[in-house]
Amino acid sequence: MNDLAQQPDPASATRSSSAGPAAIVVAYHFYPSPEIGARRMSALARLLQARGWTVAVVSALAGLACGGAQDPARAALAAYDVEHVPDRTSAVVAFLVSTKRLLRRVTGHPAAASAAGDRAPAAGTSAFHRVLFGVLRIVDDKKSWSWRAARKLEILARRHPAGVVIVSAPPISPLYCVARSARRLQLPLIVDLRDPVSDTATPDARRPFTRRWSTLRVLERYVIARAAAVVTTSAGLRDLLAARYPGARTRIVCIANGFDGHPSGRRTDTGHELVMVYAGELYLNRNPFPFLEAVNRLLARPGVDASRVRIVFAGECDSYRGVSLRGWAATRPCGRVLAIHPRLDSSKLKPIYQQATLLLNFAEGQPIQVPAKTFELLTLGREILVMCEPHSDTARIIRGLDGVFGVYSADSAQLDELLGTLYRRHVVAGHMSPPAASSVMRYSRAIQNERYATLIDDIRLGKLPVAVDPAHHGN
């Protein structure tokens, strides 16, 4: 038994005497991991345990302190039967990295500084190294963890017979390993996809055969064929998979992510200011420059008082794709109203959100994914500007919500018109209209998880899931 199970367990008597069904959750990211992906399975496990299920967990538990039984995380995990599977760095990758560093020192080749660090082969790396890195990272770099997690799953299945298995992704490699073990154990498998398996990159229309038979597509096909249910967090991914695998259509459902807790106080007075706040990281397609260009055009309009406009970025926002935001803005009008802070904890971020009248969300380039931040912002009682494509799943989520505006960055005319309208309402009129708490409650994680728990009950009883679009699911 693992080190967590050996700790004093106040819930052990309840677990051992419980006659409730057993759910085994395999999730690389799980509480107390700080990753936002950990929240979904962690909250679902709490609900299942409260509904009488015996919950067993296999996880890397990143962020778990080394303290004893008094550690708060260990106390919370005591409600479950936990198999802790720590992640380990690949010995082969470690050898390649050290060899690369040695060769650079010997040859005098400068080390390339990049956000990827030594996790990927840098420019100048030999073709041999690039090929070997590519082979080692087929699917992802969690294959070793996934095999070990699947073995722990089988141990838990012997302790808790006749249950269901829930596997969460990403990372992707646990899907195959867990599906294989669940099939051998003859346990129903629920596959939870927070992101697509094989559609994360822009498809190349010239290579349909390669896409269809890629490693990820083959893995996706294998897992879906063996799953009792596939749960996506976006309706777009659900529809794509249902079209791709028509024989599994009735087993593919969408249960959205959501916000934790309850919506905070709704504010309508702006103090005659337009204060725009973004907190997070600028990466992938989270391009802030079209928005900042629109602010430049706003500030250049006659009658606009720049002293009433502020922009606050907090987090990993110093640059986007190598371009410094401060350097870019220094010679432009928005530079006078732009403040950039480092990553802040919740206590320091809270007063910044309280000052905001408009919250920003960059969600472009992910048409079948909905950033978790989308749901969090809905709870803060402020108006929201979401940069997203008009037919994306994010646009589908926010459509019809008062005080939430979706704009595609390529449509500069619409963005200019919206910023002008916001300036007149926030600065001139001193008023805003955030979404009401009642209109966003359907995206409460608690409500979404009630649907999830019902699905798990149905799977255990042999019933087929019922597809429901969370964007149109009532309270």
Band of pLDDT at residue 67, cut at 50, 70 and 90: low
pLDDT digits (tens, 9 = 90+) for 319-357: 999 999 999 999 999 999 999 999 999 899 999 999 999
In whole angstroms, what separates CA 211 from the centre of its chain?
A: 24
Band of pLDDT at residue 129, cut at 50, 70 and 90: low
Q: Do 127 and 184 sit in the same domain of this protein?
A: no
CB 188 within 8 A of CB 166: no
**The pLDDT value given to residue 15:** 42
Indicate whether 8 pLDDT > 60. no
**The pLDDT value given to residue 137:** 60
pLDDT, mean of residues 279-304: 96
Q: Do 130 and 230 sit in the same domain of this protein?
A: no
Indicate whether 418 pLDDT > 50. yes
CB 391 within 8 A of CB 411: no
CB 387 within 8 A of CB 407: yes
d(CA 447, CA 404): 21
**The pLDDT value given to residue 80:** 96
Least confidently predicted of 103-112, 282-291, 357-366: 103-112
Q: Do 174 and 303 sit in the same domain of this protein?
A: no
* Domain encompassing residue 294: 274-440
Q: Establish if 185 belongs to a structural domain.
A: yes
Indicate whether 212 pLDDT > 70. no
User: Cis bond leading into 170, ω under 30°?
Assistant: yes
Q: Closest Cα to residue 153, out of 273, 262, 59, 224?
A: 59
d(CA 47, CA 194): 19
CB 85 within 8 A of CB 52: no
Q: Closest Cα to residue 272, out of 434, 422, 435?
A: 422
Q: Establish if 268 belongs to a structural domain.
A: no
**The pLDDT value given to residue 174:** 97
pLDDT, mean of residues 148-176: 94
Please name the amino acid found at residue 183.
R
In whole angstroms, what separates CA 217 from the centre of its chain?
A: 21
Q: Closest Cα to residue 169, out of 182, 160, 178?
A: 178
Q: Tell which wins on pLDDT, 130 or 415.
A: 415
Band of pLDDT at residue 126, cut at 50, 70 and 90: low
Indicate whether 46 pLDDT > 90. yes
Q: Do 188 and 215 sit in the same domain of this protein?
A: yes
Pairing outcome for strands 319-320 and 274-281 = unpaired
pLDDT, mean of residues 167-182: 96
Residue 317 backbone phi and psi in degrees, to 5: -125, 15
Q: Establish if 238 belongs to a structural domain.
A: yes
Q: Do 117 and 187 sit in the same domain of this protein?
A: no
pLDDT over 90 percentage in the chain: 71
Q: Do 121 and 157 sit in the same domain of this protein?
A: no
pLDDT, mean of residues 141-161: 94
Indicate whether 108 pLDDT > 70. no
Q: In the numeric block, which tokens belong to residue 65? A: 């302190």
CB 22 within 8 A of CB 160: yes
The rounded mean pLDDT for the chain is: 85
The CATH number given to whatever domain includes residue 239 is 3.40.50.2000
Band of pLDDT at residue 20, cut at 50, 70 and 90: confident
241: how many CB neighbours lie within 10 A of its CB? 24
Band of pLDDT at residue 106, cut at 50, 70 and 90: low
Least confidently predicted of 92-106, 199-213, 431-445: 199-213
Q: Closest Cα to residue 313, out of 347, 343, 285?
A: 343
Q: Establish if 110 belongs to a structural domain.
A: yes
Q: Do 321 and 425 sit in the same domain of this protein?
A: yes
Band of pLDDT at residue 99, cut at 50, 70 and 90: low
DSSP tag of 353: H
379: how many CB neighbours lie within 10 A of its CB? 20
**The pLDDT value given to residue 209:** 42
Band of pLDDT at residue 118, cut at 50, 70 and 90: very low
Indicate whether 207 pLDDT > 50. no
Q: Do 71 and 35 sit in the same domain of this protein?
A: yes
Q: Do 459 and 432 sit in the same domain of this protein?
A: no
Q: Establish if 457 belongs to a structural domain.
A: yes
Q: Do 199 and 348 sit in the same domain of this protein?
A: no
Prediction pTM value: 0.83
Q: Establish if 459 belongs to a structural domain.
A: yes
CB 112 within 8 A of CB 122: yes
Length of the chain: 475
Q: Do 383 and 309 sit in the same domain of this protein?
A: yes
Residues 6+ apart with CB under 8 A from 353: 277, 279, 359, 380, 382
pLDDT, mean of residues 103-119: 47
Q: Establish if 298 belongs to a structural domain.
A: yes
285 to 231, 276, 318, 375, 378: CA distances (angstroms):
25, 20, 15, 19, 21
Q: Establish if 4 belongs to a structural domain.
A: no
Into how many domains does the chain fold?
3
d(CA 52, CA 161): 15
Pairing outcome for strands 319-320 and 323-324 = antiparallel
pLDDT over 70 percentage in the chain: 79
Q: Do 74 and 95 sit in the same domain of this protein?
A: no
Q: What angle do CA 170, 174, 178 make, to 5 degrees?
A: 135
